[in-house]
Structure 1
Amino acid sequence: MNSNHTNLPPRAKSGGKGKKQPVPKKKKSPWKSFFKFVLIVLLIAVLAAAGYAGYLFVKGNQVIEKSGIDKPVAPGQSAKEKPLTVLLLGTDHRPETGTYLTDVVMVATMHPETNSSTLVSLPRDTLIELEGYKSSKLNAYYPRFKAAYNAAEKKEPGSGIPAEEEMKVMMSKYLGVNIDYVTVIDFQGFRDVVDTFGGVDVNVQYNMCHRDSVDGTDINLTVGPQKLDGKKALDYVRYRKSMNCSPKTKESNDFDRNARQSEVLHSLLDRMKSFGGVTKVGNALDAVSDNMTTDFEQQQIRDLLMTYYDIGKEDVKFMPITGEWRSPNVYINNDELDAARQALQDELAGKHNAQGTEADSKATP
């Protein structure tokens, strides 16, 4: 594969402090709940420590040291003084499959002076046509880069560049911003956190059955209120359509999955707030760090906490990019892509505009 990564677009210069604007009520985006889930998993290590002091503060530092890179933050690059851009990848990796398809691809820019963020998400099946790269679905690049790196590790022909770095470079070129950091989290991290807190209470609205021997999927949930362990909770939020089941069960659209993700998150938060949950937060922190890959420095994680600890949902601009599903690809809306690129650049320049439009995510296959 040709990996021509030169001539990346320059970072927009940061500007002055932006003024927050009132946010009108908007139709809920199916990405909001998942973004909250990503935050709860990625940031639990530092946020929990701030909330429970003493033991958890120490435990949080231990996890930061375990998760972050042990090297100093370069002068002038601290999150306390410089806007940052982060690539968030959610992979389908599980011990039973060994795959690394990125089912979630998001890019977030954050500015310390405006205490705000812009989050852009792309459909996993987006067809990427980019100079220097073989055209492919977006979710296929990470495992391809990973295979090339692993080959080089075995002294075989390969890139020798970590897959996470390759993704940063490619997405920087695609979105027109320089990505500073990347964080990857897998399905096992989600399951471990749910199990740590003793499961989640949900009300399954209809039977869900999907069996696929190829990737190990075995979803079989029955209607009614129940407590789900980590494996079944993951099945609950992932379910899309019935397969290899008789009788077939009802299909699920993006808005159904959004509601289920929110339901699981709320149940998880309730358990965290309970007395029993507090005593288990330390174990949850370990679960996160064991299933997360990031190139954040340890001190940068602390700087992020100190800078954005009070950021609210009204300070985050969500921009899910949609498109047209023409099997097997999603052809994204170019106007939305251009608007997303501009919004990321504006955020980096300190020009946060919370009143940007939210596109309904109706093109997800």
Structure 2
Amino acid sequence: MKHQGALKRGILIFVIVATFITVAAAAGTAALKNWRPLKEKGSAPETASKTSSTEDFSNFLLCGIDNTNSLTDVIMVANFDSKNHKLTLLQIPRDTYVSGDVPSHKYNAVYSHHDKNVSGMETLKAQIENDFGITIDHYAAVTTKGFRKIVDAVGGVDIDVPINMNYDDDEQDLHIHLKKGLQHLNGAKAEQFVRYRKGWSQGDLGRLNAQRIFLAALMQKIKSMSAWEIGTKIVPVVSAPNFLTDLSGYQMLEFYNLAKDINLSDAAVYTMPGEPFSLDGVDYYSVHKDELLEILNAHFVPEGTELSIYDLKIVQMADSVKTDNNADDFENILSGNR
């Protein structure tokens, strides 16, 4: 029973990070009992970044890709500090202003603006490393189709929808119609919930908050499932091109071994400090660099390393409001006490 509890805790940690990390955890669960590190058999792990994910401090870029496969609707950086048993997640608003030659000047379009021989995820990874001054060790992404499949695989989730949601966009084939109140959402309805933006008073920040509500609901559902149920229901729906990562199978299992011992009480999620602003009639989100610097130095760079404001190349376009500490403790997200 103790081993089973450790497995489920590891799964929950992965789910908190993002749905696609749930997938990796489920795959790890299915194989963990009979698994031994491949290096014991003389094989070296595959590496695809400057820092191995088997070290005790790693940053992951996590994205949700829209139906057009051209925009990242969700952009997050997760830090796993297994030495100190900490997990920290940073949400980057998709409308964040980005300088350079991205036509829309929005972070969600960086993924589609890449050279012929470089992938969208590698391009976005390089942009974040340059703008934030941190190292991204690995990345993972899930498409909207993959998201729907995974939610359906766990039997849907129960969510208390805060407001009536109605929005139609024929160009994106996006149609959102949800009523306020507690209801059971399947994959398609869950997608509507996490993608809705227009009706929130805070715009994209409201959508980011909805993502936290969804994660809490998914936490509750996963918590009620056995490790066997997760392995048998989620693993079969995972396949390319709906789930993308530069992690090898070996690295997933190594990472799972580290992540399963992190407690939810030592996990937190932040939204990148900043504020909405408009430029030439277009809505954007501007970072607050001083406050972002504090978060990065506290959670996203190794001990003994400190970034300066000059290491942050991201452009600040507005600074008219003070940003409150927007961290949510993951225990509160899991319990719904937010």
Structure scoring higher RCO (CA < 8 A, sep ≥ 6) equals 1
Map of 1:108 onto structure 2: 78
2:294 partner amino acid: A
Map of 1:306 onto structure 2: 257
Aligned length: 284
Report the Cα offset of residue 294 of structure 1.
0.8
Deviation string 1:208-252 (CA, Å, 9 cap, x unpaired) is 221111111112223555433210122133323369xxxxxxx99
Matched, 1:236 2:193: yes
Map of 1:341 onto structure 2: 296
Deviation string 1:128-161 (CA, Å, 9 cap, x unpaired) is 226x87781111110122xx43xxxxxxxxxx11
1:335 partner amino acid: D
Matched, 1:321 2:264: no
TM-score by length of 2: 0.69
Report the Cα offset of residue 311 of structure 1.
0.6
1:41 partner amino acid: F
Cα distance in 2 for partners of 1:113, 1:58 equals 21
Cα distance in 2 for partners of 1:252, 1:127 equals 14
Map of 1:282 onto structure 2: 232
Identity of aligned residues (%): 28
Cα distance in 2 for partners of 1:220, 1:166 equals 34
Matches within 5 A, 1:84-163: 84-92=58-66, 94=67, 98-129=68-99, 136-145=105-114, 148-149=115-116, 160-163=117-120
With over 3 angstroms needed to count, the CA separation of the structure-2 counterparts of 1:71 and 1:163, relative to structure 1, is: farther
1:257 partner amino acid: A
With over 3 angstroms needed to count, the CA separation of the structure-2 counterparts of 1:38 and 1:57, relative to structure 1, is: same
2:45 partner amino acid: P
Cα distance in 2 for partners of 1:345, 1:167 equals 17
Map of 1:22 onto structure 2: none
Work out whether residues 196 and 207 of structure 2, in 8 Å CA contact, stay in contact via their aligned partners in 1: no
Matched, 1:359 2:337: no
Q: Secondary structure at the match of 1:227?
A: strand
2:130 partner amino acid: K
With over 3 angstroms needed to count, the CA separation of the structure-2 counterparts of 1:320 and 1:183, relative to structure 1, is: same
Cα distance in 2 for partners of 1:144, 1:330 equals 19
Structure 1 unpaired stretches of 5+: 1-32, 51-55, 62-69, 150-159, 244-250, 352-356
Report the Cα offset of residue 73 of structure 1.
3.2
Cα distance in 2 for partners of 1:207, 1:143 equals 32
Matched, 1:222 2:179: yes
Cα distance in 2 for partners of 1:340, 1:212 equals 36
2:286 partner amino acid: Y
Work out whether residues 119 and 318 of structure 1, in 8 Å CA contact, stay in contact via their aligned partners in 2: yes
Matched, 1:46 2:25: yes
Cα distance in 2 for partners of 1:259, 1:318 equals 9
